[in-house]
Structure 1
Amino acid sequence: MITVLEILVVILSLVLIGVVVAQKSKTQGMGAGFGGGAEDLFGSRARGMDAFLSKLTIILSILFAVLTLILGRLMNTY
């Protein structure tokens, strides 16, 4: 059981890294602080793939945290 959970946590962490890297950057670096990012600051909403990746990131991170806590409990280490 512990080995299966360890494998699931490793696979889930790799998928989570891939999803986070695939997301579009929400900031434009230092240039946004000097007047270059006003259109993103006011009223911009994530649509399509951005919204999907954002929700997937939240779901995967919660699942990762829960599996890690369960694995820690089974191994009697916190």
Structure 2
Amino acid sequence: MRMAFMVLQVIASLILIISILLQSGKSAGLSGSIAGGAEQLLGKQKGRGYDAMLSKVTKIGAIAFIICSLVLVYLQG
């Protein structure tokens, strides 16, 4: 049981790392200029859909990570 939650926590942490790194920042420096050209070509809705999807994935990953952490602390004691 404990090992299963440890594996889930590792998976959740990897999802968090990847989803956070793929998100565009508020300043949108070099990545914003690259994405800006893509938005002109593909339309602005696709950029917002991609960012919204990454935001949802980040929230789900964070919730899974917190729940796994709490369960592991409970199983430890």
TM-score by length of 2: 0.69
Deviations 1:5-56 (A, max 9, x none): 1111011101110010011112247xxxxxxxxxxxxxxxx72100110121
Question: Percent identity at matched positions?
Answer: 42
Matched, 1:5 2:11: no
Corresponding residue pairs, total = 60
User: Distance in 2 between the 1:48 and 1:6 partners?
Assistant: 32
Unaligned runs of 5+ in 2: 30-46
TM-score by length of 1: 0.68
User: Distance in 2 between the 1:28 and 1:47 partners?
Assistant: 14
- Which structure carries more helix by proportion? 2
User: Distance in 2 between the 1:66 and 1:11 partners?
Assistant: 13
Aligned to 2:54: 53
Unaligned runs of 5+ in 1: 30-45
Aligned to 1:21: 21
- Asked whether the equivalents of residues 9 and 64 of structure 2 are also in contact (C-alpha less than 8 Å), the reply is no
Structure 1 vs Structure 2 CA RMSD: 1.6
Matched, 1:65 2:69: no
Could you say which structure has the larger radius of gyration? 1
